[in-house]
Copies of this chain bind each other. A is one copy, B any other.
Amino acid sequence: MSRLINRQWRVARRPVGLAKQSDFEWREELVPAPGPGQMLVRNEYLSVDPISRAWMWQDDTALPALPLGSVMRGITVGRVAQSRNSAFVEGSRVLGLLGWQDYALSNGESDVLMRLSPDEHDVPPTMQLGLLGHVGITAYFGLLEIGQPKAGEMLVVSSAAGAVGSLVGQIGKLCGCRVVGIAGSTDKCRWLREELGYDAAINYKAEPVFKRLKQHCPHGIDVYFDNVGGAMLEDALNLLNPHARIVACGMLSVYNDVGGLLTLPPGPNNLLHLTLRRARMQGFVGFDFWPRAAEALTRLVRWHRDGKLRYRVDVIEGLRQAPHVLNRLFDGTSWGKLVIRIS
Contacts of A275 in B (CB 8 A): 62, 248-251, 283-285
Enumerate chain B residues within 8 angstroms of A272, measured Cβ to Cβ.
229, 248, 250-251, 254, 261, 264
10 A-B pairs besides A263-B269, A277-B283 with CB distance below 8 A are A60-B276, A62-B278, A248-B274, A264-B272, A267-B267, A274-B281, A274-B283, A280-B283, A281-B281, A282-B282
A278 vs B254: C-alpha distance when bound (angstroms): 18
8 Å CB interface, A287-328 against B? 288
Q: A86 at the A/B interface (Cβ < 8 Å)?
A: no
A241 within 8 Å of B by Cβ?
no
B residues near A269, Cβ cutoff 8 Å: 263-267
Asked if A256 is at the interface (CB within 8 A of a chain B CB), the reply is no
Could you tell me the distance between the alpha carbons of A274 and B248 in the complex, rounded to whole angstroms? 7
Q: Which residues of A contact B (CB under 8 A)?
A: 60-62, 229, 233, 238, 248-251, 254, 261-285, 288
Whether A276 lies near B62 (C-beta < 8 A) is yes
Contact of A268 among B61, B263, B267, B284 (CB under 8 A): B267
Q: Which 4 pairs between the two chains have the least Cβ-Cβ distance? A: A266-B266, A275-B283, A274-B283, A267-B267
Please indicate the chain B residues that have their CB under 8 angstroms from the CB of A251 in the complex. 271-272, 275
With both beta carbons as reference points, the residue of chain B lying nearest to A258 in the complex is identified as B269
List 20 A–B pairs whose Cβ atoms lie within 8 Å, in order of A's numbering: A62-B275, A62-B276, A62-B277, A238-B262, A249-B275, A250-B272, A250-B275, A251-B272, A254-B272, A261-B270, A262-B270, A264-B272, A266-B267, A267-B268, A267-B271, A274-B282, A275-B283, A280-B280, A280-B281, A280-B282
> What are the residues of chain B within 8 A of A233 when measuring CB–CB?
271
Report the bound CA distance from A103 to B261 in whole Å.
54
Task: Tell me if B271 and A278 are in contact (CB < 8 A).
Answer: no
The residues of B that contact A265 with a CB separation of less than 8 Å are: 269
Residue of B249, B254, B273, B278 near A288 (CB, 8 A) is B278
Q: Which residues of B contact A285 (CB under 8 A)?
A: 275-276, 278
Pick from B60, B270, B274, B277: contact of A264, CB below 8 A: B270
Please, which residues of chain B bring their CB within 8 A of the CB of A276? 60-62, 283, 285
Residues in chain B near residue A263, CB distance under 8 A: 269
Query: How near does chain B come to A178, taking the closest CB pair, in angstroms?
Result: 24
A60 to B238 Cα, complex, angstroms: 12
Within the assembled complex, what's the spacing in Å between the Cα atoms of A266 and B238?
Answer: 14
For residue A203, give the distance in angstroms from its CB to the closest CB of chain B: 24
